[in-house]
Amino acid sequence: MYRGDGRMNVLVEYALSSLKQWVFYWKLPTRRTVTHPVGEQRSVKYSWAVLTSATLVALSMNLTLFSPGPVLNSVRQGLHTSFAEIGLIFTLPAVITSVFSLIGGVLADSIGIRRVAGAGGVLLGLGGLLRGTTVDFLTFLLFTGLFAVGLGLALPNLPKAINGWFPKSAVGLASGIYVMGFPLGASLASGVTTYLAEATGGWQGALRSWGFVALGFAAVWLIVVREPRGSKDTVKVSLALPESVARNFPLWIVAASLFVNTSIFSIEVAWFPTLLAERGASGQEAGLMVSIFSIANMVTVFVVPTLSGRLGLRRPFIWAFAGTSALGVASLIITPPSAAWIILPILGAAVAGPFAMAFLLPADLVDYSHLGSASGIVLSVGWLGIGFGSWMAGFLRDLSGSFYTTLVAIVISALLIVVLAFVLPETGKRGRYARGSTERESPVH
């Protein structure tokens, strides 16, 4: 009897040990303190608080950006404008965000992440809120521009905040969590805005509601996030881009890859419902397939940074996901329309891989003190792809009379990302570049 109990205890202890190892593989650090790159220590609870704040800000960005989409026809009718003009509410933010992402990144390095991202979050929420008070198109466009300025200022601060308050070994997982806020915000905007409009009396009430939400998330950031001691405690405004960042060739390769990838993403999100309808899908079927695409996208942006951080590799993930994107779109060309139910979730996962990596790579390529500027370059160039991709798809559709040429262009673009990844050095912890760069980085965690 006792011998049997002893064997059972051994089995239970083994099971608990295995479970503990599995949990520790995925979880964030559980040490009582974490060390910032400049040497300061704070509790892990504070790191979680910073991560939560960054995730909420990321969520509010796409929540506010995509909230007009589900009520777009009502917005157009209410503002008495044309389809061409209403398209500017998506094109204009892409351009303005691109410009102010670079400014926001440089300011993050000179006056600090809390101030810049906080101001950006307030402008983002305020612009979204005021859009819901307008009765003419020009005023609506003006407040859309205000929202885009805030988005651009806040965006490059998120990678710097995460790299600042998490040890290097946990940055991948933490990045996966906050980057997941982007597709989650887009999904909430797509799924909830229509019901919110019904509950608040129309599209204006829905946009005001999302604006209040964004302002609330900005307040959380300002309350929670603090500047690391020894980082940027004093205000010293500078818009000069550091020469070491501007001449960092791999950084521009990352920026170019993100530009191509966001072009692909914008085509798939904006035009695939129309493409599927032309191939015989009903409006409900097309919407459901694009929703599944978004869910797969959300899962990937969490999994890819996490696995990349654990395995210490970057380029294989870009090759795998960009290659899958090319193969999936090629399959969409040659397969019957019913195959889209299988292909679109694959494409949703594939296009998210290079996007998630773009938030990790700048921290591998520059010192922490210049991470804001580096992220600003990557996101500034990359965000232009949103406007370019949507325009290119429409242009090719008008030129050829079908979406075949657009799909071919996506295949070529995805293969270009694969080629660009070959030019990049391997900056993961197992790469030669990473070993060589440790001498110029801040003290390790």
Same domain, 214 and 259: no
Question: Does 255 share its domain with 170?
Answer: no
307-332 per-position pLDDT tens digit: 888 888 899 999 999 999 999 999 98
Q: What is the DSSP string of 322-366?
A: HHHHHHHHHHHHHS-GGGHHHHHHHHHHHHHHHHHHHTTHHHHHS
By the 8 A CB rule, do 186 and 61 touch?
A: no
Phi/psi at 234 (5° precision): -115, 150
In the Cβ-directed half-sphere of 115, how many Cα atoms lie within 13 Å? 16
Does one domain contain both 256 and 199?
A: no
Domain that holds residue 269: 245-439
Note whether 336 and 389 are same-domain residues. Answer: yes
State which of 164, 196, 227 marks the end of a domain: 227
Asked if 35 and 445 touch (Cβ cutoff 8 Å), the reply is: yes
Q: How many residues does the chain have?
A: 445
pLDDT for the residue 166: 86
Residue 233 lies in a domain: no
Structure tokens at 39: 């040497």
Mark whether 153 and 290 lie in a shared domain.
no
Alpha carbons 100 and 376: distance in angstroms, whole number: 8
Does some domain include residue 330? Answer: yes
Contact 253, 378 (CB under 8 A): no
What is the C-alpha end-to-end distance of the chain, expressed in Å?
50
d(CA 102, CA 110): 13
| 402 in the same domain as 307 | yes
* Structure-block tokens of residue 329: 């779109």
Number of domains observed in the structure of the chain:
2
HSE-up of residue 114 (Cα within 13 Å, Cβ side):
17
Instruction: State whether 280 and 379 are in the same domain.
Output: yes
Which CATH number characterizes residue 306's domain? 1.20.1250.20
Do 427 and 292 sit in the same domain of this protein?
yes
Whether residue 34 is contained in a domain is answered as no
Query: Could you tell me if 223 and 298 lie in one domain?
Result: no
pLDDT at 435: 41
Structural domain includes residue 37? no
User: Would you state the pLDDT for residue 154?
Assistant: 94
User: Residue 305 domain-assigned?
Assistant: yes
Is residue 20 assigned to a domain? no
Do 209 and 309 have their domain in common? Answer: no
Instruction: Extract the residue ranges of the chain whose pLDDT is less than 70.
Output: 1-43, 84, 228-240, 283-284, 287, 430-445
User: What is the phi/psi pair of residue 236, to 5°?
Assistant: -140, 90
Query: Of 194, 227, 260, which residue is a domain's last?
Result: 227
Using the 3D structure, point to which of 195, 227, 259 is the last residue of a domain.
227
Tell me whether residue 272 is in a domain: yes
This prediction has a pTM of: 0.77
Integer angstrom CA distances of residue 376 from 60, 109, 139, 329: 19, 10, 28, 30
Q: What are phi and psi of 42, to 5 degrees?
A: -140, 165
Query: Could you tell me if 375 and 362 are in contact, meaning their C-beta atoms sit under 8 angstroms apart?
Result: yes
117 and 216 together in one domain: yes
Residue 126 has a pLDDT of: 96
* 295 plus 219 within the same structural domain: no
Residue 155 makes CB contacts below 8 A (sequence gap 6+) with 61, 97, 101, 104, 120, 375, 379, 383
Q: What confidence score (pLDDT) does residue 165 get?
A: 86
pLDDT at 433: 60
On whether residue 13 sits in a domain, the answer given is no
